[in-house]
Amino acid sequence: MRFPYEDEQRAERLRLIETLEQLPDEEFDTGTTLCAGWAPRDVLGHLIGADYLATYLRFGTRFNAANQAQADRVRHLPRARLEEWARAWAAAPSATSRLGAAVMLGDLGVHHQDIRRGLGRPREVPDSVATAIFREGVHLSFWLNRRLLRHRVVPTDGHRPIGRGPEVRGTREALGMWLAGRDPVSGELDFA
């Protein structure tokens, strides 16, 4: 049985792995991302760890602590072993990730962009991923920064406007990243 967005999630996982495999060791281990304090290997550790529901159960509602534990778990793994694990993760998502693919795709898309943007490697974001990033930003905004409660976001590439207040215009991907607290994308947005 296929769940909604399951195929898109697998495809984006494979694109992420392709991005990571192109990085030299130094960038993979210590490169800049839009996730404060995390290198690309840490972001990958978090994303793989999200397939393990037990990690989150152990930390209760302390999601940041759970995310950090996932990143810490892989920090000293040899790169070849981590990449092998990532390929298995991409090929066979957990049942909970498959079931929640509509939500997990947004988190995956945001973090893939965290890596690409942090290292200055732009890419053409697939339409379904851009929409998922926008949705993820909308959800995260409510508990991270409340930007959506103070602004009307107007995607310029195909989605209905959301929110009230001064308008902010941009692509779904850039707006989603900004709503998710990634301030470096602000220069790509048009603030009314």
In 3-state terms, what secondary structure has residue 191? Answer: strand
Other beta carbons within 10 angstroms of residue 26's beta carbon come to 9
User: What is the token pair recorded at 128?
Assistant: 């379904």
124: burial class by Cβ within 10 Å (0-12, 13-18, 19+)? exposed
**CB neighbour list of residue 132: distance below 8 Å, 6 or more residues apart:** 5, 8, 102, 105, 106, 108, 109
Q: What is the pLDDT of residues 141-156, one digit of tens each?
A: 988 899 999 999 999 9
Q: Is the dihedral of CA 180, 19, 97, 130 positive or negative?
A: positive
| Residue 42 token pair | 């840490």
Give the pLDDT score at 96: 86
pLDDT per position as a tens digit, 131-143: 999 999 999 998 8
Q: pLDDT at position 123, please?
A: 94
Instruction: Give residue 61's pLDDT.
Output: 80
pTM for this model (two decimals): 0.94
**Would you state the pLDDT for residue 144?**
86
Element housing 179 (H / E): helix 172-179
Residue-averaged pLDDT of the chain: 93
- Which position has the higher pLDDT, 192 or 87? 87
> Pick the residue with more confidence: 4 or 174?
174
| Listed ranges 37-41, 49-53, 142-146; the one with the highest mean pLDDT | 37-41
